[in-house]
Amino acid sequence: MVANVCVSAFTAKNINRGRAFHRKRLRCVHRGATELCSTSNHAYECETHMVKEIDYKVELDGSSRIRDICHVVKTMVTAWADIPDEEFSVKEVQGGVTNKLYNCGPPDNHGVLIRIYGNQSEILIDRDGELKNLVHIYKNGFAPKFYGFFKNGFVYGFFPGRDLTPQGWYPLAHVTCDLMVADLQEGKFTEEIARQMALWHQQEVPSAPRDEPSLFVKLNSWLSLVPTHYETPEKQKKFEIILNQWDIQEEAKFLREALEAVDSPIVFAHNDLIGKNIIYDEATDEIHFIDYEYGAYNFRAFDLANHFCEFAGFELDYSKYPPKEMQYKYFRTYFSTFYNREATEEDLHNMYVEISRFALASHFMWATWGLVQGEISDIDFDFMQYAVDRFSQYYLIRDSVLAL
């Protein structure tokens, strides 16, 4: 049983303080000298410290896992280089469905995070682009310290706080409590998340392509990766549920046409604001976003709509989808932060229609992701059922949403 804590509502004072904190942090990270790591074909420029690269692969299977993790961390964090492996704490952080994540460091230190890419996840995610974007996001003041990368992952710091999931698994938690997803559903973090999202959307990330919204790039790529047949009968049976009901290739074309008719600005979006990627720091009353592997230029509406869809959790209880009144609360804060003016009733209505239609994109894209993961992932999660359920929700709401 975990303890409840009281979370104060975010006020206008909190929001203004957050803006000041953001500006201050930007000044700090831009003050340092620039250094460059260029030990291979990749070059990642980062202000205030050197980003390292080592030609090393962490093996997750077998007895060398802990030794490999300690070697990578001690290479990245040179102050720990002489500490024996047996004095390190290495803990797996539970909850990810794409990668493996570990918290590693000396026992008297909160340590760092080491992310190890999931099996064949480079098929779904541009890992080189992710690292380049991470450096810029850090320089912009939106990411924790980035130490460096190795063959199948990278090492980085983390924001203090807890994530907004039922488990609250983020490693540097001030408190463990059972608000989490309920926090989102009850609107306790509405204004601060909306404000942080608007600030995120204002940043420039030069390394990220801008020629086409990532929604269509990813969706086309992932559709091409969906297998025609799955190895296990159970997976194949669930795949046939989809094939027998829907033509997803044709539906993708229809969806693209429908969404291209929506006037939604292109911004640098997080694209994966699930509860575990939103960190609440109780000590400072601030929200941070983490895990930027899907970060890219995309429709603003996708980021908001995808976040709203994630209120349902992995159990996909769509009765938890935020009602119109709560969405308007998000929109007011987002609008005032992004545009520096108050939203009119027309603005709110237009955003409501915009975001509602892009909820279709969220369902369709992550359903397709589930079909690909069902074939390649070795993580214990029923990706095929997840795909069936997301497609089902897409078709359930499609006509009513497009009629708005």
pLDDT reported for residue 49: 58
pLDDT reported for residue 246: 97
pLDDT reported for residue 165: 60
Q: What is the CA radius of gyration of the chain?
A: 21
Q: Which parts of 203-321 fold into alpha helices (H)?
A: 214-225, 233-245, 248-260, 300-309
Amino acid identity of residue 145, one-letter, is: K
Q: Looking up tokens 């214990």, which residue turns up?
A: 380
153 membership: H or E segment, kind and range: strand 153-156
Could you read off the pLDDT of 363-404 as tens digits, one per residue?
999 999 999 999 999 888 999 999 999 999 999 999 999 999
pLDDT reported for residue 183: 66
pLDDT reported for residue 107: 82
Select from 203, 242, 194, 256 the least CA-distant residue to 384.
242
User: Domain map of the chain by residue range?
Assistant: 1-30+178-404, 32-158
Could you read off the pLDDT of 298-344 as tens digits, one per residue?
999 999 999 999 988 878 999 999 999 999 999 999 999 999 999 99
Can you identify the CATH homologous superfamily of domain 1-30+178-404? Aminoglycoside phosphotransferase (APH), C-terminal lobe (3.90.1200.10)
In the chain, the percentage of residues whose pLDDT exceeds 90 is 63
Neighbour-count burial for 75-94, b at 16+ CB within 10 Å, e otherwise = bbbeebeebeeeebebeebe
Query: Which of 40-44, 77-81, 98-102, 303-307 has the weakest average pLDDT?
Result: 40-44
Query: Which of 25-29, 251-255, 275-279 has the weakest average pLDDT?
Result: 25-29
299 membership: H or E segment, kind and range: strand 296-299
Give 15's pLDDT tier (boundaries 50, 70, 90).
Answer: very low
Q: Is 203 exposed, middle or buried (0-12, 13-18, 19+ CB in 10 A)?
A: middle
Can you identify the CATH homologous superfamily of domain 32-158? Phosphorylase Kinase; domain 1 (3.30.200.20)
Give 31's pLDDT tier (boundaries 50, 70, 90).
Answer: very low
Distance from chain centroid for Cα 86: 33
Q: Which of 20-34, 46-60, 274-288 is the most confident on average?
A: 274-288
Could you read off the pLDDT of 111-148 as tens digits, one per residue?
899 999 988 899 899 999 999 999 999 999 999 889 99
For the CA atoms of 166, 275, 77, 141, what is the dihedral angle to 10 degrees?
Answer: -140
Task: Supply the mean pLDDT for the chain.
Answer: 83
Q: Is 395 exposed, middle or buried (0-12, 13-18, 19+ CB in 10 A)?
A: middle
pLDDT reported for residue 23: 41
